[in-house]
Structure 1
Amino acid sequence: MNMPPQITTDQECITQADIDKGADFVDMPSGCNLTQIDIRRDSMDYGMSCDMQGMRATFQGQMTFNGNRMQGSMASEVDTPVGKMIMQMETEAQRIGDC
């Protein structure tokens, strides 16, 4: 079953101190852990695994940093009681000012 695209907009403040934390900056949901993280000056690759109320979910993502902009994608697979659910998410971000 295909679902129509869902679009959301969020705004948050990320400081240099947050960025300096590296992988510790990622706020992991309960039941999840990083399985891979590779942070470079201009990009990042990551993997995550979660146990969501007995359902296993895996995530693979990448981000590219371009000055004041960022874009990325993440794919996930969730084993549900009715079968495997596959999702794809695209992300775009831009700096809009100081915190």
Structure 2
Amino acid sequence: MITVRIGGNEFPLDDVLDDPGRYARHLERAKKIQGFAECGCGTQRPRPKLVIRRHRDIFLLARWPEQAHQHAAACPFNRQTLAKSGPTDNLDAFRLKDGHHDIRLG
């Protein structure tokens, strides 16, 4: 089971990705204080950072730019896992497309 550290708390990553609203208080606090979450997919230290993004009242976790390779092979934030799922630009929740911000929420 892969975990994610949000602030000083450890949660199952699947739970946070499936129901981020349940963890909104933790995500909001971590975004303000620390600025990121940490993925517990591997044993390396420091842990790979995860961006905490906010869109209105919704919080999302995204891989830290240029650090997808630091995640374990089974981690949903790993570049190889993303490549198997489809084109990377279709999986990013926030992206710049034709000079406009394009936000896709699953």
Q: Which structure has the bigger radius of gyration?
A: 1
Q: Name the structure with the higher helix share.
A: 2
Establish whether TM, by shorter chain, passes 0.5.
no
Please give the TM-score of this superposition, normalised by the length of structure 1: 0.30
Please give the TM-score of this superposition, normalised by the length of structure 2: 0.28
